[in-house]
């Protein structure tokens, strides 16, 4: 895919479960590899950067076994790497390159480390200087101060060199300190690391120290200037470890909630997180967003006033999530300033320059300095901006928020998100893609119209009635009484249903026709009044929300399932017209039909539907009424499309 076209976006709401954190995943992989014993890592991120680390560890003699979709068993080598020769390609993964450099420098072998061209432009001199101080033989294979590197066995005794502190800079990347801290216990000797400059991105060092402690190695920290690793410590496996959800990845969804109404809830990080980027929520709160935090979730809503405020913040502690804030600045009520972000210059791309260039495409006025960025929001968003992403996953993800300005936005080379968040756009779509909710009484033609509207717009289609019919059919087949609420809800939760184009399968059996039978319809209306059954189907229905958009047909689409749907249509027709349509359908199918009984049935069903306590049939306040009594199907489709175009500008 060359580019991803985001439609103009409005209301955003929903829940997102986060993939594992990149920073934690790659640290845990290395620690588990160096440790004694075997470690089960659960919820490991599956992305380019973790794959690079896994491949490198395998090449270095570490036993790796995938035990579940996101779980790996790592058989630790209990010290330096046993494979003493290797040529490792590490892509653009800083979290693999830097720590492996240090661990390999202390492994006494011959190794070559290289990456993509951008990796060879990212400085590594401070780390190499630190390693050389203790006698490691690390050489630059091309340019002084940059990868690729050649590592050779040390000519001197490393232990002897450790008596005096290692002195390193901490103002370019905190990953150099992380790399040294994680590798030094391989010597088994006491070691001290002293910073010669201010240390940036301190929360990432907290992650490092926290995870090392879980593997049995404690580090004494004096301020952020001196780190002491007492001797005699070895890494040993804690058994099973879980990877938290990615807090940097959470920032996009939280910002979307703050900009687009919300509530948006991210699951997998919360109050107890060890990741510094959860502090992004505080920055959003500074802008006026309403934030709620639980042990394992964070939720964001727009300010009560609806408008986000300007900010002027030092963001050194959240360098990655700060990019999201730069794009959120487009939605502030005045100029915003991001300070102390010099590390952006040496990340996947020069993020300060890239951010300035791309924000301007949306109409913002942007000023940049060596370590700061000033963003003045546009009066109106520039439509159809084509955003370049510089092979930087975070550029692609944070600029997706620009579509919340109500304009179409094109993201070039969107696949760069695979570095840390392969299904980012699917998840963003699940809270942001436009939804057209269509409801109406039985036989109003809404099913046919909804499907035709979806086809015309190229949108996904949800026939929610089919889910209730499938639940009824599955319950009937399993011999479950249709008024046994918890048993039917269990059937609904486990419903083995798949939609393959026009075909509907239940546990592999084609039931496209079967679910339309009269007794199944009656069964569906019975199970549809059970609140626990409706609740059991809720997330399944919400999962249909995907880019470029969704047409959702059914009773509570605009009220419960997608209350923020920007387009709601109530399609109706007189009972006589509906009875006539049904009559014609039945005759065409060669079935017997009687107008009088059909009319009576419909009227009775309308009364029952409107009177029922759970999800009664009614027109939502914000739903547009389309009375199709005098219309053909084509005319009804055209009428709905008119409403859609009125509410969703830019739709073709
Ligand atoms: O639209 P349909 O006839 O296929 O729907 C089957 C039954 O499910 C019908 O009684 C209405 C009910 N239903 C519901 O309660 N909520 C929905 N979202 C969709 C259908």
CA of 549 to the centre of ligand 1 (A): 22
Q: What is d(CA 273, CA 483) in angstroms, rounded to the nearest whole number?
A: 43
Residue among 320, 392, 413, 463 flagged as catalytic: 320
What average pLDDT score do residues 35-61 get?
Answer: 97
Which residues lie closer than 8 Å to 596 by C-beta, 6 or more apart?
none
Residue of the CA atom closest to atom 20 of ligand 1: 465
Ligand 1 pocket, residues with Cβ under 6 angstroms? 464-466, 468-469, 521, 524-525, 528, 554-556, 615
Atom of ligand 1 nearest to the CA of 541: 18
Strands (E), 233-349: 240-242, 261-267, 290-293, 297-301, 312-314, 336-339
**What pLDDT is attached to residue 251?**
98
Best substitution site from 444, 450, 468 to test ligand 1's pocket, by max atoms within 8 Å of Cβ?
Answer: 468
Give the pair of three-digit tokens for residue 464: 């929610």
Instruction: Compute the distance from residue 524 Cα to the ligand 1 centre, in Å.
Output: 7
Q: Whose Cα sits closest to atom 4 in ligand 1?
A: 465
Ligand 1 atom nearest to CA at 468 = 8
Q: pLDDT grade, residue 501 (50/70/90)?
A: confident
Q: What is the pLDDT of residue 502?
A: 85
Distance CA 403, CA 415 (A): 18
Helix, strand, coil percentages (3-state) for the chain, rounded to 5, are: 40, 20, 35
Q: Which pLDDT band holds residue 630 (cuts at 50, 70, 90)?
A: very high
Say if residues 231 and 257 touch (Cβ distance below 8 Å): no
Q: Whose CA is nearest to atom 16 of ligand 1?
A: 555
Rounded CA-CA distance 133/128 in Å is 9
Query: pLDDT tens, 170-228?
Result: 999 999 999 999 999 999 999 999 999 999 999 999 999 999 999 999 999 999 999 99
Confidence of residue 643 (pLDDT cuts 50, 70, 90): very high
Which of the two residues, 93 and 1, has the higher pLDDT score? Answer: 93
Residue with the smallest CA separation from ligand 1 atom 5 is 465
For ligand 1, atom 3, the nearest C-alpha belongs to 465
Cα angle for residues 387, 391, 395 (degrees, 5° grid) = 45
How far apart are the C-alpha atoms of 640 and 493, rounded to whole Å?
33
pLDDT score, position 73: 98
Q: Are 138 and 105 in contact (CB under 8 A)?
A: yes
Q: What spacing in Å lies between the alpha carbon of 615 and ligand 1's midpoint?
A: 10
Q: What is the mean pLDDT of the chain?
A: 95
Taking the C-alpha atoms of residue 24 and residue 245, their distance in angstroms, rounded to an integer, is 9
Query: What ligand 1 atom has the least distance to the C-alpha of 466?
Result: 4
Averaged pLDDT for residues 29-58? 98
Taking residues 413-418, report their average pLDDT.
97
Secondary structure, 3-state, 54-116: HHHHHHCCCEEEEEECCEEEEECCCCCCCCCEEEEECCCCHHHHHHHHHHHHCCCCEEEEECC
Q: How far is the centre of ligand 1, averaged over its atoms, from the C-alpha of 473 (Å)?
A: 13
Question: How far, in Å, is the centroid of ligand 1 from the Cα of 468?
Answer: 6
Q: Check if the beta carbon of residue 167 is closer than 8 Å to that of residue 199.
A: no
Ligand 1 pocket test, pick from 444, 522, 554 with the greatest ligand atom count within 8 Å of Cβ, gives 554
d(CA 347, CA 449): 50
Cβ–Cβ under 8 Å, residues 293 and 304: no
Best of 464, 538, 556 for a ligand 1 pocket test (most atoms within 8 Å of beta carbon): 464
Q: Cα dist. 528→24, 140, 542, 546 in Å?
A: 44, 68, 17, 25
CA of 565 to the centre of ligand 1 (A): 19
- Ligand 1: atom nearest CA of 615 is 15
Tell me: the pLDDT tens digits for 101-147? Answer: 999 999 999 999 999 999 999 999 999 999 999 999 999 999 999 99
Task: Output the CA 11–ligand 1 centroid distance in Å.
Answer: 26
Any residues with CB less than 8 A from the CB of 276 and at least 6 apart, and which?
201, 202, 203, 204, 206, 207, 247, 317, 318
The residue whose C-alpha atom lies closest to atom 6 belonging to ligand 1 is 465
d(CA 26, CA 45) in angstroms, rounded, equals 9
Measured from the CA of 469, which atom of ligand 1 is nearest?
Answer: 6
Ligand 1 center to 446 CA (angstroms): 12
Mutation to probe ligand 1, out of 449, 525, 620 (largest number of atoms < 8 A from CB): 525
Q: What CA–CA distance (Å, rounded) separates 176 from 133?
A: 14
Check residue 585 and give its pLDDT: 87
What pLDDT was estimated at residue 518?
85
Can you give the pLDDT at residue 220?
A: 97
Q: What are 234's two structure tokens?
A: 């070895």
Is residue 314 among the annotated active site residues?
no
pLDDT at 156: 84
b/e map of 579-611 (b: 16 or more CB within 10 Å)? bbbbbeeeeeeeeeeeeeebbebbeebbeebee
Q: Show the DSSP H helices in 109-152 as ranges.
A: 125-133
DSSP one-letter string for 219-252: -EEETTTEEEE-SS---B--SEEEPPB-HHHHHH
pLDDT digits (tens, 9 = 90+) for 434-465: 999 999 998 888 999 999 999 999 999 999 99
Ligand 1, atom 15, lies closest to the CA of: 528
Contact 363, 387 (CB under 8 A): no
Q: How far is the CA of 269 from the centre of ligand 1 (A)?
A: 36
In ligand 1, which atom is closest to the CA atom of 515? 4
401 CA to middle of ligand 1, Å?
A: 35
Residue 160 has pLDDT above 90, yes or no: no
pLDDT greater at residue 521 or residue 147: 147
| Residue in 608, 424, 536, 607 with CA at minimum distance from that of residue 18 | 424
> Residue 379: is it exposed, middle or buried by C-beta count within 10 angstroms (0-12/13-18/19+)?
exposed
Phi, psi (5° rounding) for residue 366? -130, 135
Residue 589 pLDDT greater than 90, yes or no: no
Token duo for residue 425: 């756009």
Ligand 1 atom 11: residue of nearest CA: 525
Q: What is the mean pLDDT of residues 427-439?
A: 97
pLDDT higher than 90, residue 287: yes
- Residue whose CA is closest, atom 14 of ligand 1? 555
491 confidence band (pLDDT: 50, 70, 90): very high
Characterize the bridge pairing of strands 63-68 and 191-195. Answer: unpaired
Model confidence at 1, pLDDT cuts 50, 70, 90, reads confident
The share of the chain scoring above pLDDT 70, in percent, equals 100
Residues 6 or more apart whose CB falls under 8 angstroms from that of 549 comprise 7, 433, 434, 435, 436, 457, 459, 460
Mean pLDDT of 559-571: 94
Q: Which atom of ligand 1 is nearest to the CA of 447?
A: 1
- Best substitution site from 499, 527, 528, 537 to test ligand 1's pocket, by max atoms within 8 Å of Cβ? 528
Taking 90 as the threshold, does the pLDDT of residue 77 lie above it? Answer: yes
- Atom of ligand 1 at shortest range from CA of 524: 7
Give the C-alpha distances (Å, rounded to integers) separating 186 from 164, 169, 195, 217, 509. Answer: 17, 22, 21, 11, 58
Q: Atom 19, ligand 1: which residue's CA is nearest? A: 465
């Amino acid at each position: 895919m060359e580019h991803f076209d985001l439609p103009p976006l409005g209301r955003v709401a929903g829940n997102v479960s986060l993939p594992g954190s990149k920073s934690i995943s790659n640290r845990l992989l290395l620690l588990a590899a160096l440790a004694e014993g075997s470690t089960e890592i659960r919820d490991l991120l599956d992305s380019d950067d973790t794959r690079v680390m896994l491949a490198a560890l395998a090449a270095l003699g570490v036993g790796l076994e995938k035990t579940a979709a996101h779980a790996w068993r790592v058989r630790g080598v209990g010290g330096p790497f046993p494979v003493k020769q290797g040529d490792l390609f590490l892509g653009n993964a800083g979290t693999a390159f830097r720590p492996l450099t240090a661990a390999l420098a202390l492994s006494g072998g011959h190794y070559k480390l290289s990456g993509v061209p951008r990796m060879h432009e990212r400085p590594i001199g401070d780390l190499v200087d630190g390693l050389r101080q203790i006698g490691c033989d690390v050489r630059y294979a091309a340019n002084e101060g940059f990868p690729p590197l050649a590592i050779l066995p040390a000519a001197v005794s490393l232990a002897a060199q450790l008596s005096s502190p290692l002195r390193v800079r901490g103002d370019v990347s905190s990953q150099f300190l992380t790399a040294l801290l994680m590798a030094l216990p391989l010597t088994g000797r006491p070691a001290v690391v002293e910073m010669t400059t201010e240390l940036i991105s301190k929360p990432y060092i907290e992650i490092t120290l926290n995870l090392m402690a879980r593997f049995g190695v404690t580090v004494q920290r004096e301020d952020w200037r001196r780190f002491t690793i007492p001797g005699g410590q070895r890494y040993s496996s804690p058994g099973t470890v879980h990877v938290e959800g990615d807090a940097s990845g959470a920032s996009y969804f939280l910002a979307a909630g703050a900009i687009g109404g919300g509530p948006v809830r991210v699951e997998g990080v919360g109050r107890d997180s060890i990741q510094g980027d959860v502090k992004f929520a505080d920055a959003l709160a500074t802008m006026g967003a309403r934030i709620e935090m639980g042990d394992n979730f964070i939720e964001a809503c727009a300010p009560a006033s609806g408008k986000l405020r300007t900010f002027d913040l030092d963001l050194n502690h959240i360098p990655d999530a700060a990019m999201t804030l730069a794009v959120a600045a487009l939605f502030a009520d005045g100029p915003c300033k991001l300070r102390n972000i010099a590390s952006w210059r040496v990340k996947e791309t020069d993020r300060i320059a890239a951010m300035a260039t791309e924000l301007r495409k949306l109409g913002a006025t942007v000023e940049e300095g060596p370590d700061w960025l000033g963003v003045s929001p546009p009066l109106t968003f520039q439509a159809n901006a084509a955003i370049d992403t510089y092979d930087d996953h975070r550029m692609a993800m944070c600029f997706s928020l620009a579509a919340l300005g109500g304009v179409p936005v094109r993201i070039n080379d969107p696949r760069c998100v695979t570095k840390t968040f392969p299904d980012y756009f699917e998840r963003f779509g699940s809270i942001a893609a436009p939804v057209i909710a269509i409801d109406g009484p039985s036989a109003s033609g809404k099913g046919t119209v909804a499907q035709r509207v979806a086809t015309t717009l190229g949108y996904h289609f949800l026939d929610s009635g089919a889910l209730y019919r499938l639940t009824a059919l599955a319950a009937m087949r399993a011999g479950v009484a249709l008024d046994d609420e918890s048993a039917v809800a269990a059937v609904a939760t486990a419903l083995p249903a798949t939609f393959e184009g026009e075909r509907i399968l239940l546990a592999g059996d084609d039931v496209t026709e079967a679910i339309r039978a009269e007794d199944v319809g009656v069964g569906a209306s019975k199970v549809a009044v059970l609140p626990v059954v409706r609740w059991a189907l809720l997330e399944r229905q919400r999962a249909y929300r995907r880019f470029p958009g969704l047409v959702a047909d059914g009773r509570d689409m605009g009220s419960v399932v997608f209350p923020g749907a920007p387009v709601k249509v109530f399609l109706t027709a007189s009972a006589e017209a509906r009875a006539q349509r049904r009559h014609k359908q039945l005759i065409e199918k060669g079935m017997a039909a009687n107008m009088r009984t059909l009319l009576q049935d419909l009227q009775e069903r309308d009364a029952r539907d409107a009177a029922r306590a759970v999800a009664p049939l009614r027109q939502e306040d914000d739903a547009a009424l389309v009375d199709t009594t005098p219309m053909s199907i084509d005319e009804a489709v055209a009428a709905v499309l008119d409403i859609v175009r009125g509410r969703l500008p830019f739709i073709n």
